[in-house]
Amino acid sequence: MSVLPTQLGPLKLESPVALAPMAGYTDSPMRRIARRYGAGLVFSEMLSAEGTLRRNRKTLELARFTQEERPIVLQYFVVSPIVAAKVAKILEELEPDGLDLNFGCPVRKIVQNSGGAALLKDIPLLSKIVEASVNATRLPVSAKIRCGWDEHSQNAVEVARAAAEGGASWVTVHARTRSEFRAGSAHWEWIGEVKQKVAIPVIGNGDVKTAEDAIALQKQTGCDAVMVGRSAIGNPFIFREANALFSGSGPLPLPTPRERFQAVNQQMAWMMDLFGEEHAVRRFRKHAIGYLRDLPHSAVIRNRVIRLPNACDVLSILEEYFFSLPDSSASCGSTLGESASSDRDKLTETAQGL
Ligand SMILES: Cc1cc2nc3c(=O)[nH]c(=O)nc-3n(C[C@H](O)[C@H](O)[C@H](O)COP(=O)(O)O)c2cc1C
């Protein structure tokens, strides 16, 4: 099977595997690492429309990207068509490759203000927001949705159709309802429904934990691309592994200790450039947890790394640890050692406490 390259509206992607938008994670260094290891498309974390409108320094910092990240899509959440149009114009000035509207955020603060997933309950307004954004920019505009608000209102097909009618170039379906947040298993069958019934390209998202899952999701649903979120944290290798399977060149060996260290070192260096050492080291902790996930006896290393204040010490401990692993053990994933919990939910929960 080969689905390379992939077309999403006007965007031609080298790979059908995208990095998901993840607030607090998908900063420019993580996006660069993902692209370097083969992600076909990356998204910024969601930007506040209000912050963008006020040209708030912090919001615009989140929107900054480097050429190496292209193709990059900037995502925002917004509740009004007029504001959506203004935000689209402002973000267009930054020259990303596309804009994405967030209709999936389940967080109470956002939905109480009628944003994110709340718009799944107001399809006419959602369609107007898409239309206003599309009319305001020459960039492709996409929508990221969920299956519905809850199990009694699973309306992914109607929502995706409304987004298509509003002019969206593609739709990303996170195959859970708002009330499921990120728990439980994703309902991939909804991605297949949308793909069958709606004319625009579809990115499938939810529970792609391995390269094999990416293939399975594409096969099961016929979606045009797949999106990886939590499983790409500290694991940019998933992109090249999935690409190898998609292109038919077979499974790749898992990353060697040297490759793991190179990725860690590079990501930290980019983070230090962007944030300065103190902030970079604090922010890097949650990525370090990802890099150590499922490796033998890594809990003790993780506990040391999340307490260290300077980059040099963090990198030396990780370097020493990775190079202490025999190639084969580092490649065995959760089959060896203590299996530092392959539970991705725990990963983001622990990291959010950092
Ligand atoms: C920490 C975190 C932050 C997230 N932030 C965003 C966001 O800013 N915008 C968005 O559309 N989705 C966001 N998501 C949802 C992901 O994009 C994705 O839809 C979800 O994690 C399911 O994919 P996965 O199972 O591959 O992780 C976030 C998810 C996590 C774990």
Structural contact between residues 340 and 293, judged by C-beta atoms closer than 8 angstroms: yes
The model's pLDDT over 137-162, given as tens digits with 9 standing for 90+, comes to 999 999 999 999 999 999 999 999 99
Q: What's the pLDDT tens digit per position in 25-70?
A: 999 999 999 999 999 999 999 999 999 999 999 999 999 999 999 9
* % residues pLDDT > 90 (the chain): 88
Helix (H, G, I), strand (E, B) or coil at 344: helix
Our separate counts of H helices and E strands in the chain read 16, 11
Tokens standing for residue 9: 């509206």
Residue 30 C-alpha to ligand 1 middle, in angstroms? 14
CA of 18 to the centre of ligand 1 (A): 12
Cβ of 144 closer than 6 Å to ligand 1, yes or no, is yes
For the chain, domain boundaries: 6-246, 257-352
User: If you measure from the C-alpha of residue 205 to the centroid of ligand 1, how many angstroms do you get, rounded to a whole number?
Assistant: 9
Query: Which among 105, 223, 312, 332 is annotated as catalytic?
Result: 105
Return the best residue to mutate from 25, 102, 174 for the ligand 1 pocket (most ligand atoms within 8 A of CB): 174
For ligand 1, is residue 208 a contact (CB within 6 Å)? yes
pLDDT in tens, 158-205: 999 999 999 999 999 999 999 999 898 999 999 999 999 999 999 999
Residue 5 confidence class, pLDDT cut points 50, 70, 90: confident
Q: Which amino acid is it at 256?
A: T
Residue-wise pLDDT for 229-273, tens only, equals: 999 999 999 999 999 999 999 899 989 989 999 999 999 999 999
Sequence-ordered list of residues with C-beta below 8 angstroms from that of 181, at least 6 positions apart, any chain: 106
Q: What is the DSSP string of 176-191?
A: EEGGGTT-S---HHHH
> Which pLDDT band, with edges at 50, 70 and 90, does 3 fall under?
low
Q: How far apart are the CA of 26 and the centre of ligand 1, in A? A: 10
pLDDT classification of 326: cutoffs 50, 70, 90: confident
- Rounded to the nearest whole angstrom, what is the distance from the C-alpha of residue 207 to the centroid of ligand 1? 11
Q: Is the pTM of this model over 0.85?
A: yes
Residue bearing the CA closest to ligand 1, atom 21: 229
Q: Is there an atom of ligand 1 within 6 Å of 290 CB?
A: no
- The question of whether 105 is a catalytic residue gets the answer yes
The C-alpha atoms of residue 303 and residue 267 are separated, in whole angstroms, by 20
b/e 244-275 (16+ beta carbons within 10 angstroms → b)? ebbeeeeeeebbbbebbbebbeebbebbbebb
Residue 335 has pLDDT above 50, yes or no: no
Which ligand 1 atom is at minimum distance from the Cα of 102? 11
Q: Are 347 and 233 in contact (CB under 8 A)?
A: yes
Of the candidates 39, 30, 343, 57, the residue with the CA atom closest to the CA atom of residue 211: 39
Which atom of ligand 1 approaches the CA of 209 most closely? 26
Q: Are 10 and 255 in contact (CB under 8 A)?
A: no
The architecture CATH gives domain 6-246? Alpha-Beta Barrel (3.20)
- The rounded distance, in Å, linking the Cα atoms of 208 and 42 is 16
Select from 144, 218, 230 the residue to mutate for testing ligand 1; criterion: most ligand atoms less than 8 Å from CB.
Answer: 230
**348 pocket-lining for ligand 1 (C-beta < 6 Å):** yes
C-beta of 21 in contact with ligand 1 (< 6 A): yes
